[in-house]
Copies of this chain bind each other. A is one copy, B any other.
Amino acid sequence: MHFGSDNQPGASARVLDMLVAANLGHTHGYGDDEWTARAEAALAEVFEREVEVFLVPTGTAANTLALACLVRPWQAILCHDQAHILVDESTGVELQSGGARPVGISGGAGKLTPELLASHLARAGSDATHNVLPGALSLSEVSELGLVYSPQELTGLADLAHRHGLKVHVDGARFANAVAASGASAADLSWRAGVDVMSLGATKNGCLAAEAIVFFTKGLAHELPFRRKRAGHLLSKGRLLGAQLVGWLQEGHWLDLARHANSQAALLARELTTLPGVRLAWPCEANEVFVIAPTALAAALRAAGATFYDWYRGALPPGVELGEHELLLRLVTSFASSDAHRDELLAAARAFFHRRHG
């Protein structure tokens, strides 16, 4: 019963097969190989336009290297106060950017809004050398709390950001889940909405370690090759990354995987909330279920073999506090989540309440 993270399974069979296929023969090193080229072509097709692509092995590498190209070391990167780049990637942004500062914006209902952004900008200082002025906005799609920005929401944020001179980055660690959930196209959820650069994550959704930094806006990528190399993120055997992405993107495989994960999460959310004392902290729109649940239930599920994380109290909706015997839990489904595991979890939960109230 694995609901800890979508990084706990391996690769999908198709992705693994492509990796095995790619292993044969000699290629040029350092990304100058046919698999990398094929991945780039596949990304251009998915996004319905020319793009500049740089492959790296981790999401932290993708986010921090991309952002380092958007800001100078004396600027800020605005993001949600639960953003992965702020909370879960150590001081990676600072390292790669030479000291730029990620700044979290609080409040709101699980997503940033133009109003929140405008309010932040109005309260911040504007003295260019003394204050740390923002140079970029980083959004997460799927959001930090499992919600999906619509194309309209992204457009509203990107427009405001651009009017203030900010570049727009999307942390797309679960972008596949967002595309699958929203019904909008990858293009609609990125460059058509004004996104300048995206970290497109494949690792959490069927690959072993493969992320693509995708630049949509011309003129922003010129530093990336240098930053990737000095950070140690230029793989000599580029086929490892290229082949995974080729397999992942081929014939809509990436979206098939995401749809499965999303539907598992939706079912889980629906069933869990039928239990007494269990309520969603946030609507389940993609493949993450944030629930507030009795501490004893969490213990019982873990005793039954389920894995999942207690989550940051800072991730609770504004105004919501945990009761004394409650926890905020995050359960994540993946392409590899099985009906059996889901049913086993739900059965264990129901058994807990039977024992307790029976």
Query: Residues on A close to B: CB < 8 A?
Result: 2, 4-5, 7-11, 16, 19-20, 22-30, 56-62, 64-65, 72-75, 87-92, 94-96, 98-102, 106, 122-125, 128-132, 203-204, 208-209, 223, 225-237, 239-240, 307, 312-314, 336
Task: Please state if A22 and B10 are interface contacts (CB–CB under 8 Å).
Answer: yes
Q: Which residue of B lies closest to A204 (CB)?
A: B236
Q: Which residue of B lies closest to A337 (CB)?
A: B26
A27 to B208, CA, bound (A): 12
Q: List 22 A-B contacts (CB under 8 A).
A: A7-B30, A9-B26, A10-B22, A10-B23, A20-B20, A56-B232, A57-B235, A59-B232, A61-B232, A65-B232, A75-B91, A89-B232, A90-B230, A94-B99, A99-B99, A106-B106, A124-B314, A128-B225, A128-B226, A209-B235, A231-B232, A232-B233
Known: A91-B100, A129-B234, A232-B233. A226 touches B16 (CB 8 A): no
Of B25, B29, B91, B101, the residue contacting A74 (CB under 8 A) is B91
Task: Please state if A74 and B58 are interface contacts (CB–CB under 8 Å).
Answer: no
What residues on B are CB-neighbors of A226 within 8 Å?
72, 74, 90, 128-129
Instruction: Give A118 Cβ to nearest chain B Cβ, in Å.
Output: 13
Q: Which residue of B lies closest to A12 (CB)?
A: B23
Task: Please state if B123 and A95 are interface contacts (CB–CB under 8 Å).
Answer: no
Instruction: Give A200 Cβ to nearest chain B Cβ, in Å.
Output: 15
What residues on B are CB-neighbors of A57 within 8 Å?
57, 209, 232, 235
Task: Please state if B233 and A95 are interface contacts (CB–CB under 8 Å).
Answer: no
Task: Please state if A232 and B64 are interface contacts (CB–CB under 8 Å).
Answer: yes
Instruction: Give A231 Cβ to nearest chain B Cβ, in Å.
Output: 6
Task: Please state if B209 and A73 are interface contacts (CB–CB under 8 Å).
Answer: no
Task: Please state if A231 and B231 are interface contacts (CB–CB under 8 Å).
Answer: yes
Task: Please state if A58 and B234 are interface contacts (CB–CB under 8 Å).
Answer: yes
Task: Please state if A92 and B231 are interface contacts (CB–CB under 8 Å).
Answer: yes
Known: A94-B101, A123-B313, A132-B90. A235 touches B58 (CB 8 A): yes
Task: Please state if A237 and B98 are interface contacts (CB–CB under 8 Å).
Answer: no
What residues on B are CB-neighbors of A59 within 8 Å?
232, 236
Task: Please state if A91 and B123 are interface contacts (CB–CB under 8 Å).
Answer: no
What residues on B are CB-neighbors of A75 within 8 Å?
91
A228 to B92, CA, bound (A): 10
* Most chain B beta carbons < 10 A, residue from A16, A58, A91, A96: A91
Instruction: Give A212 Cβ to nearest chain B Cβ, in Å.
Output: 14
What residues on B are CB-neighbors of A223 within 8 Å?
72
Q: Which residue of B lies closest to A27 (CB)?
A: B8
What residues on B are CB-neighbors of A231 within 8 Å?
61, 92, 95, 231-232
Task: Please state if B99 and A229 are interface contacts (CB–CB under 8 Å).
Answer: no
Task: Please state if A11 and B26 are interface contacts (CB–CB under 8 Å).
Answer: no
Task: Please state if B95 and A230 are interface contacts (CB–CB under 8 Å).
Answer: yes
